[in-house]
Amino acid sequence: FSCNLSDLLCCLLGLLYQEYRDKSTRQEIETRRLQDSQTDPEESSPSEETPSEAEPTSTPESKAPPQISLLRNSNSRFNLWQDLPEIRSSGVLSILQPDEIKLQEAMFELVTSEASYYKSLNLLVSHFMENERLKKILHPSEAHILFSNVLDVMAVSERFLLDLEQRVEENIVISDVCDIVYQHTVNHFSVYITYVSNQTYQERAYKQLLQDKPAFREVISQLELDPKCKGLSFSSFLILPFQRITRLKLLVQNILKKVEEKSDRENTALDAHKELETVVKACNEGVRKMSRTEQMISIQKKLEFKIKSVPIISHSRWLLKQGELQQMNGPKTSRTLRTKKLFREIYLFLFNDLLVICRQIPGDKYQVFDSAPRGLLRVEELEDQGQSLANVFILRLLENADDREASYMLKASSQSEMKRWMISLAPNRRTKFVSFTSRLVDCPQIQCVHPYVAQQPDELSLELADVLNILDKTDDGWIFGERLHDQERGWFPSSMGEEILNPKIRAQNLKECFRVHKSDDSQRRKLGSRNRQ
């Protein structure tokens, strides 16, 4: 079974990684839809919920497994590992168990997707970075911010792909790939942290160049129109490394779900997943740290303290939520008063460890009149209080700036905004539905069918095919969810997803998630309770 790097890239001539990844996640969505419509998960396609690189089948009665892997040409469908001529002619398919074939497909997908990723990285470098016109326009410092250490990232991908390719060549049946993933993650993947941590500056520099340099804007537009780019934008190439390191973790999770329990291959997959998770977290923290520092400095400049000043800027502090609420004036029983007299505007800045309560004053400034540690906040929802007290909750400060207990009756603009504030202010408060960490058999779940970019700190960005537990929902179209693969929590519009109705599929999703994280159960519980908030 011979398959070298050049062969792989030739097979992928018609497909860049952005397209490959999009087809993969959309096929995953279609597979899960099919499962959800069936009574028994075992009746679904052989690859179950596998992320598979394929186009959706047009006929619902088709029982063929989702097709993954390489394109033979730009117009063909993906080919499964089992569909390769070398595999079919070997007779090995009559020997292997169905579960082992699924595992082979999952490992093969990791290899072929890396080849597609390398192809796209190579295009970023050769077509954009090394373009002579672009070089003349960009100052070396601008080019450095824009492209960062992408050459190091590409070199790491090439080395990784060559080792994967060598493993594929060793035997017609792939023995393992997670040991290679582990070694490369530990020894080489730190280049991803460097690249992704630069993302904030990269995005800013790109926007600034488009605005300030018409020549840059013109060249980029012309380069994007080249057929090589397949209609994809320059920015879609810049974000590739972050997308890939995240996707690689999911591909290893997919392998982990298919290996034999308590086997050497399971241990190797667990080790690889743990190391990848460490890199992904470091990437996320790198991005957040850059933006958080600037945000804290900006907030500090806007605050004027009526009470004893509290130092806002700290390396361990970041903003969770800010916004305007209405504070009730007078006794709670004054329901007959007009709303405009009953309430007055206040503004809250909620950090991960501190709440600051202000009133907005002229000049885009905020006068602070109270504060409290976040751990000393309690909230209580008011129910059936009439229209004027709709979306009202009680915020209690067990110990405020004057070292005493204080209560505020606050009104939000909508039900979702009220719930978002309540969960942010008191994150350990019980939600409507059960959390991932409870280990109960069932919980409402949703899969993402439209990507979503978080607009507020308490929101959660979603990728296609993400599966989440629903922890809470509102009547005005928002869901508070916990993503299964990394236990990140946040709000997102309900229109971004489709609820998973089959209880057996929900149970299967949870079971697989527990297995992925079983290598460190205590850490899993910590992750489950942790909130980016």
The pLDDT mean for the chain works out to 84
More confident position, 145 or 49: 145
What domains appear along the chain, each with residue ranges and CATH number? 5-31+79-293 (1.20.900.10), 306-331+340-425 (2.30.29.30), 445-531 (2.30.30.40)
Q: What is the pLDDT of residue 441?
A: 53
β-strands 303-305, 365-373 pairing: parallel
Neighbouring residues of 490: CB distance < 8 A, sequence distance ≥ 6:
454, 458, 459, 460, 461, 480, 481, 531, 532, 533
Q: What is the pLDDT of residue 36?
A: 84
Cβ contact 408:381 at 8 Å: no
pLDDT tens-digit profile of 424-478? 999 876 666 655 444 555 689 999 999 999 999 999 999 999 999 999 999 999 9
Q: What is the 3-state secondary structure (H, E, C) of 187-247?
A: HCCHHHHHHHHCHHHHHHHHHHHHHHCHHHHHHHHHHHHCHHHCCCCHHHHHCHHHHHHHH
Neighbouring residues of 310: CB distance < 8 A, sequence distance ≥ 6:
354, 356, 368, 371, 401
Is the predicted pLDDT of residue 101 greater than 90, yes or no? Answer: yes
For residue 222, the tally of other CB atoms under 10 A from its CB is: 11
Q: What is the pLDDT of residue 155?
A: 97
Is the predicted pLDDT of residue 299 greater than 90, yes or no? Answer: yes
Q: What is the pLDDT of residue 533?
A: 46
Cβ contact 408:369 at 8 Å: no
Is the predicted pLDDT of residue 209 greater than 90, yes or no? Answer: yes
Cβ contact 516:273 at 8 Å: yes
In whole angstroms, how far apart are CA 444 and each of 38, 95, 390, 502?
17, 40, 27, 10
Is the predicted pLDDT of residue 395 greater than 70, yes or no? Answer: yes
More confident position, 525 or 79: 79
Is the predicted pLDDT of residue 337 greater than 70, yes or no? Answer: no
More confident position, 442 or 160: 160
Q: What is the pLDDT of residue 63?
A: 34
Among 42-56, 88-102, 111-125, 437-451, the minimum mean pLDDT is found in 42-56
Cα 159 to the chain's mean position, in Å? 26
In whole angstroms, how far apart are CA 103 and each of 11, 56, 96?
22, 21, 11
State mean pLDDT over 239-268.
94
Among 9-23, 26-40, 229-243, the minimum mean pLDDT is found in 9-23
Report if pTM > 0.75: yes
Identify the DSSP state of 55. P
Is the predicted pLDDT of residue 503 greater than 50, yes or no? Answer: yes
Q: How far apart are CA 259 and CA 102, in angstroms?
A: 9
Q: How far apart are CA 399 and CA 375, in angstroms?
A: 10
What dihedral angle (degrees, nearest 10) is formed by the CA atoms of 59, 467, 25, 477?
80
pLDDT tens-digit profile of 17-54? 888 788 888 888 888 888 888 765 444 443 333 333 33
pLDDT class for 114, splitting at 50, 70, 90? very high
Residue 148 Rama label (left phi>0; alpha psi -120 to 50; beta): left
Give percent helix, percent strand, percent coil of the chain, each to the nearest 5: 50, 15, 35
Q: How far apart are CA 350 and CA 358, in angstroms?
A: 11
Is the predicted pLDDT of residue 76 greater than 80, yes or no? Answer: no
Is the predicted pLDDT of residue 8 greater than 50, yes or no? Answer: no
Is the predicted pLDDT of residue 531 greater than 50, yes or no? Answer: no
Amino acid letter for position 112: T
pLDDT class for 72, splitting at 50, 70, 90? very low
Cβ contact 169:8 at 8 Å: no
pLDDT class for 386, splitting at 50, 70, 90? low
More confident position, 338 or 219: 219
Residue 480 host element (H or E): strand 478-483
